Amino acid sequence: MKKSFILLFAFTLLVFTSCQNQDQKEVAKKPEKKEIDFEKEEAKISELLDLLASSTESGDMPMIENIWCPKEDVILIGTENDEKLMGWSTIKKAMSGQFNSLNETLISITDQNISFDRDARTAWFFEEMNYNFIYNDKAMSLDGIRFTGVFIKNDEGVWKLVQGHVSLPTSIDMK
């Protein structure tokens, strides 16, 4: 009986230690989570926003299309009450119309703030900018325009703009 007990104890000990070693091997095989360089990701988003501004100035629709996610669930809210542009095709049409009616566009970004979720797969931003252009042969200037939006990183690791909102500052006379 004593021999059976010792053999059972030795077998149990062997089973537990072999499982423990296997678990340790499994832990060792799991890839380590890659450290996210948030400064690098912020620079990428900032570069995309700068590129979006310069592409808007020049009317470079292919570049703008490369920045936006070309799907029909993206949205851009404009400054007019009825400017709720749903889907890339609608946004593209509205922007093309703008390019046809404005000339000599100059956009200067005066403030920019970019934030991320903890996995750096979603980024949201705020920009303030001045927008100068010629409309109907008249020089126009809109200062302090606010542009906010959301970028997502697609499966290929490329940032795409999926939501934007443009607003104009106004003074309200409170009585």
pLDDT tens digits along 58-78: 999 999 999 999 999 999 998
| Residue 122 pLDDT exceeds 50 | yes
- Is 149 within a domain? yes
Residue 42 belongs to a domain:
yes
Q: How far is CA 175 from CA 169, 170, 172, in A?
A: 19, 16, 9
Within a domain: 67? yes
Examine the pLDDT at 164 and tell me if it is beyond 60: yes
Assigned domain for 137 exists: yes
pTM of the predicted protein model: 0.77
162 in a domain, yes or no? Answer: yes
Comparing 81 with 71, which gets the higher pLDDT? 71
Q: CATH number for the domain including 142?
A: 3.10.450.50
Whole-number Cα distances in Å, 80 to 9, 77, 152: 80, 8, 26
Rg of the chain's alpha carbons, rounded to an integer? 28
The answer to whether residue 94 is domain-embedded is yes
Question: Does 133 reside within a domain?
Answer: yes
Domain count, the chain: 1
Average pLDDT over residues 151-156: 96
112: left (phi over 0), alpha (psi -120 to 50) or beta: beta
- Structural domain contains residue 172: no
Q: What does the mean pLDDT of the chain come to?
A: 84
Q: pLDDT band for 81, please (50, 70, 90 cuts).
A: confident
Given a contact cutoff of 8 angstroms between Cβ atoms, the answer to whether 137 and 147 are in contact is: no
What is the residue range of 121's domain? Answer: 38-167
